[in-house]
Structure 1
Amino acid sequence: MTASSRGRYRLWRRLDWQAAVNSRPFACNVTLYETVIPHSVTMQTISRAVALLKCFEGGARSLGLSELVQLMGLNKVTVHRLAQSLVAEGLLKKHPGTLRYSISYGLLELGRELLNPRGVIPIAHPILARVAELTEETVMLNLRDGDKAVIVDELVSKHPIHYSIGTGFSADLRLGAAGNAILAAMPDAEIEELLSRPEPRRQSGLEYTSEEMRDLLSTIRSQGFARSVAHRVSGAVGFASAFFGPEGDVMGAVALVHPDNRHPGPERQEAFAQAVIEAAAELTEALCFSEPQSQKDQKETVS
């Protein structure tokens, strides 16, 4: 091919490319210049991006590039590209002064509906507030997420010494009063599937056999609440009761937690149990008879 013909060929390619772009939406179906990315490469990139975001679990406020490289075990160029892509998508924030990265509010936007299904938080919050005022202890709203309980709302006690686990924290349903209350309200088949897995570690070091867990869940069902000591947090006593959605499925649990040395008397303990039972029942009723958020939005649009 002569220099002249090569030039005409390159020009033809440019014109053909432009024609293809102008004639149909830009997409991977422009056959002449299609670049096929192997599925395994795509999945690897997604996995690495998720792994990078998980580096901020456990309370890390910001991380430098070298710290991310060390945590991920990848080369600096790869980690930098991943971080820059996540910054561009609004999931990470890069601080100009320090060049350190932190998670962005874009993650909250992604998880807004996940953390507030059926508009449960605005409905539950006043109920939690009344329990917090009555007990003067930290009160939490937990939602079921598969085999985990996730804290989506928390009102922290005003006592100088208190427990605050934090929104977004998740734990195995076999850990803590909230998880146990949810687990007890699940169908037997789902319970058995979870009990077949290895036991999670509790802060107290206590371990349950499958039969002991079945007995515990039976007790929770009969009394309407769960109580735990040092399951998720050392020195913490928790009370929780499950609440249900309009379809009758367990959605989560209302829970409170206090230091184990603050309320040793049985009367106070009974009051805490009754408080979460009543709150869960009130929330269940509110959810079952509340108007779906989608219908509210439609009415506001019409008006």
Structure 2
Amino acid sequence: MPVVSDNTDHKTIQSVDRSFGIIEYIQENSGASLIELTDEFDISKSAIHYHLNTLMKYGWVVKEGETYRIGLRFLDPAMHSKSQREEYQIVHPKVVKLADETGERAQFIIEENGRGIHVHSELGENGIQSNSRVGKLVYLHATSAGKAILASMPEERVESIVDAYGLPKMTDNTITTRGELFDILEDIRERGYAFNRAERRNGMMAMGAPVKDPSGRVFGAVSVTGPVRRMQDEHQRYLTDLLLDVTEEIRLRLEYPQ
């Protein structure tokens, strides 16, 4: 069984890497045929077929006609993981509150393995729909919630994340240098909240704040996203206080559970 190293110098099993690569490709393309997968991974059709048969055996992949799709089997471990964290359940109604009071899209993001993951996402009355669905992976440096999380980390940890994933450019406004990133993280530490000024998507702005437990540990961040003009003209005057009030409410609910 071949063993390879990835860019974080962790030993991995090549066949498992290939299976997860197939899963990611199927998801990113909303389905794929055997021929498409064979062309993408440049291995024999029979080898791809073995991977697919194994994934289908456990329900991770399903076949519809000639197209392979992600199976709903993924819902069970995902929902189980989400339900195991009491703090995530306390955060959820506060994300709903942010969406209701601003009318925009609100979300709660955590960090795992150097990437951000959407745990909760709610759409307000005027919110703009996007692909920022629950479970979506994002680069931390290009989101307000992600930068709020990075600002809570030791510099060595931030350096290791940048080493692993780089600072990919999403728009013309994305932070792409370490120096700029560390300067902005210092500003976030001083003021207590972060901005995303069209750094992930053109025309969209967000404000985010870290969420802490009673010990002061940051375990995620909440943010509100909307069109740049609306966020600057209508929301920015009061959104800072609203975000900080919500994060304090979460901390107090964790410290004094009902």
Alignment TM class, shorter chain as reference: 0.7 to 0.9
User: Between the two proteins, what is the percent identity of the paired residues?
Assistant: 24
Unaligned runs of 5+ in 2: 5-11
Of the three residues 77, 80, 87, the one matched with 2:49 is 80
- The SS at the match of 1:174 is helix
Report the Cα distance in structure 2 between the residues aligned to 1:205 and 1:189, rounded to whole angstroms: 25
Provide the aligned length of Structure 1 versus Structure 2: 250
- The SS at the match of 1:83 is helix
- The SS at the match of 1:151 is strand
Aligned partner of 1:32 in structure 2 is none
**1:279 counterpart = 2:246:** yes
Deviation at 1:78, TM superposition (A): 1.1
Report the Cα distance in structure 2 between the residues aligned to 1:215 and 1:105, rounded to whole angstroms: 42
Please tell me whether the aligned partners of residues 162 and 258 of structure 1 are also in contact (alpha carbons under 8 angstroms).
no
Report the Cα distance in structure 2 between the residues aligned to 1:88 and 1:177, rounded to whole angstroms: 40
Q: Which amino acid aligns with 2:36?
A: E
1:117-156 to structure 2, matched below 5 A, reads 117-156=84-123
1:251-266 to structure 2, matched below 5 A, reads 251-265=219-233
Deviation at 1:181, TM superposition (A): 0.5
Please tell me whether the aligned partners of residues 220 and 226 of structure 1 are also in contact (alpha carbons under 8 angstroms).
yes
Are the structure 2 counterparts of residues 77 and 253 from structure 1 closer, same or farther at C-alpha, using a change threshold of 3 Å?
A: same
- The SS at the match of 2:232 is coil
Q: TM-score, normalised by structure 1?
A: 0.73
Aligned partner of 1:34 in structure 2 is none
Q: Select the structure that is richer in strand.
A: 2
1:164-243 to structure 2, matched below 5 A, reads 164-194=131-161, 198-207=166-175, 209-243=177-211
Please tell me whether the aligned partners of residues 157 and 163 of structure 1 are also in contact (alpha carbons under 8 angstroms).
no
Please tell me whether the aligned partners of residues 180 and 217 of structure 1 are also in contact (alpha carbons under 8 angstroms).
yes
Are the structure 2 counterparts of residues 263 and 80 from structure 1 closer, same or farther at C-alpha, using a change threshold of 3 Å?
A: same
Report the Cα distance in structure 2 between the residues aligned to 1:242 and 1:44, rounded to whole angstroms: 37
Aligned partner of 2:8 in structure 1 is none
Q: What do residues 100-125 of structure 1 show as CA deviations (whole Å, max 9, x unaligned)?
A: 21111222223334445513332211
Of the three residues 111, 121, 131, the one matched with 2:78 is 111
**1:100 counterpart = 2:70:** no
Alpha-carbon RMSD across the aligned residues, in angstroms, is 2.6
Q: What do residues 128-160 of structure 1 show as CA deviations (whole Å, max 9, x unaligned)?
A: 111111100000010111322111111123327
Report the Cα distance in structure 1 between the residues aligned to 2:76 and 2:182, rounded to whole angstroms: 39
Q: What do residues 67-118 of structure 1 show as CA deviations (whole Å, max 9, x unaligned)?
A: 22222222211111111110111111122xx232111122222333444551
Aligned partner of 1:62 in structure 2 is 31
Please tell me whether the aligned partners of residues 156 and 164 of structure 1 are also in contact (alpha carbons under 8 angstroms).
no
Aligned partner of 1:49 in structure 2 is 19
Are the structure 2 counterparts of residues 76 and 152 from structure 1 closer, same or farther at C-alpha, using a change threshold of 3 Å?
A: same
Q: TM-score, normalised by structure 2?
A: 0.85
Q: Which amino acid aligns with 1:159?
A: N
- The SS at the match of 1:231 is coil
Q: What do residues 148-177 of structure 1 show as CA deviations (whole Å, max 9, x unaligned)?
A: 211111112332755452222222221110
Are the structure 2 counterparts of residues 122 and 160 from structure 1 closer, same or farther at C-alpha, using a change threshold of 3 Å?
A: closer
Report the Cα distance in structure 2 between the residues aligned to 1:151 and 1:221, rounded to whole angstroms: 22
Deviation at 1:232, TM superposition (A): 1.5
Q: What do residues 250-275 of structure 1 show as CA deviations (whole Å, max 9, x unaligned)?
A: 2110011001132432x621312222
Report the Cα distance in structure 2 between the residues aligned to 1:138 and 1:124, rounded to whole angstroms: 15
Unaligned runs of 5+ in 1: 1-37, 292-303
Are the structure 2 counterparts of residues 116 and 270 from structure 1 closer, same or farther at C-alpha, using a change threshold of 3 Å?
A: farther
Structure with larger Rg: 1
Greater displacement, 251-260 / 101-110: 101-110
- The SS at the match of 1:102 is strand
- The SS at the match of 1:141 is strand
Report the Cα distance in structure 2 between the residues aligned to 1:71 and 1:122, rounded to whole angstroms: 40
Report the Cα distance in structure 1 between the residues aligned to 2:161 and 2:3, rounded to whole angstroms: 31
